[in-house]
Chains A and B, each alone.
Chain A
Amino acid sequence: MGRDKVERHIQTGAEYVTGPDCSCLMHMAGVAKKQGLKIQFMHVVEILAAGL
């Protein structure tokens, strides 16, 4: 399921995937990195904090 989810994110053309749930992001990021896929995952507060 993780692989299918990451695959669908990639198909949108997105470079970054964000969300509020750490375990969800960790799961997908772990799957993507294991497969050597370029898409990146950031928690939403990292994006907000980048503006501080």
Chain B
Amino acid sequence: MSTQHSKAAKEFLQNQQYAHWHDATFWAVRTKRDNMAMGLDEWEQLREKASAIKRHTITHLDEYLDQFATNAEKNGVEVHWAKDAQEFNEIVYGILKNHDVKKMVKSKSMLTEECEMNPYLEAHGIEVVETDLGERIIQLKDQKPSHIVMPAIHLNHDDVGELFEEKGISNEKGNHDPTYLTYMARLSLRNEFLTADAGMTGANFGIAETGDIVVCTNEGNADMSTSCPKLHIAAIGLEKIIPNYDCLAVFQRMLCRAGTGQPTTTYTSHFRKARPTAHHMHIVLVDNGRSEWIANPEHWESLKCIRCGSCMNTCPVYRRSGGYSYSYFIPGPIGINLGMLRDPQAHSGNVSACTLCNSCQTVCPVKVNLGDQIYLWRQQLDSLGTANPQKKLMCRAMSMFYGSSSLYNFGTGMAHWANLIPSPVINSGLNPWAEGHKMMQFPQKPFHEIIKGITKSEK
């Protein structure tokens, strides 16, 4: 009956101290979000507005994509369209090859993670250097991101200190002070920026009215990645397009407040065209399933997602199991939903990584109905062929038992005999509930018998 997630979570929880620290770390970010949200009287209005803008844009996406591409091209930007991950990788490689690129620096892009771009480019002889500090750390450790905004959050400063010593980024053995480590990372990355032939960014938003892409970073690494090398490639998913600057203002107020509990990122940069001394700027618009998902009547609202990370920060399951417990590259509530859209058979296990508490839905800045959708996916498991057979059997047995008053009354009347079952049997592997719980003692008389007796005697 155990899913991949529950097995992975069990291992994660073996180290209780670590699990508590992980949980507390994310709860702290959730608390920061709460402070931000409570500090704005208009927070709920902004959420509704953001949701409405996204609903409108996604349902008219063809018009806005057309407008965006036309305006970007008017700015001298070369616009490419990638129907899937493979095409995206090929397009990017093509551009890099044309410019003889040996090394590319990149700022954070979960889209490139989705398309598995880094291994593709490396297999074709191009060095890719992550410049977001969290991404750089996990790149050096050969790990995947465990969170979409804070990819190395599962590591502490000793882990980073030891890594930097090993990779020659840090000079002082044993100095794991975060400020020192960050300073050494900065020196190392400065060198990468200055010696790279190309810079790639993702995009938090694409503005249809102007053809700008907007990138939000705390580190300024998108700015460095595009200011030093002469070639800039921007990767953006179709659903990231929004109509105009007025709309941007709504999302800009919410993105960081929701995701990191900051009023804004340190840098919010617009990229409209290549600098005069540089080569072209390229934008690659990526579909990779999105246009199909828009047509899904129950799940299209997942495309409103602005990738803030708020849902996973609050999710009690994510906080206690970590990003690596999920089978999809995006974890947490949005990851469960996007994974099911991507490949329902492969990622069905994730839908039970949820208590249906709906905290995710409550915090989502664009009102994606995350919990409701997870509940819907659960109901579809049987038709997908991924429903757990033991759980199905248990549910049928329970329907029969609870559906018949004679069976129910008989069963609850007899239940106290179960108290006599010896504890090695009760606590054996056959009873999954016994793990972590001491079995309850059934009363001699069920409550409804007692109350019947009382009401009878009062008559």
Contact = CB atoms under 8 A, between A and B. Distances in A.
A33 B434 CA distance: 11
Contacts of A49: 447, 450-451, 454
Contact-residue bracket for chain A: 10 to 19
A30 B438 CA distance: 5
Contacts of A43: 447
B368 to A, nearest CB: 23
Interface in A1-52: 1-2, 4, 26-27, 29-31, 33-34, 43, 45-46, 49, 52
27 contacts: A1-B316, A1-B317, A1-B355, A2-B436, A2-B437, A4-B23, A4-B320, A26-B437, A26-B440, A27-B437, A29-B440, A30-B433, A30-B437, A30-B439, A30-B440, A31-B436, A31-B437, A33-B438, A34-B436, A34-B437, A43-B447, A45-B447, A46-B447, A49-B450, A49-B451, A49-B454, A52-B454
Interface of A: 1-2, 4, 26-27, 29-31, 33-34, 43, 45-46, 49, 52
Contacts of A52: 454
Interface residues of B, number: 15
A33 B426 CA distance: 15
Instruction: For the complex of A and B, list the 5 residue pairs with the smallest distance between their C-beta atoms, beginning with the closest.
Output: A30-B437, A33-B438, A34-B438, A30-B438, A52-B454
Interface string B436-459: 111110000001001100100000
Given A4-B23, A26-B437, A31-B436, 6 more contacts: A1-B316, A4-B320, A26-B440, A30-B436, A30-B438, A33-B438
A1 B320 contact: yes
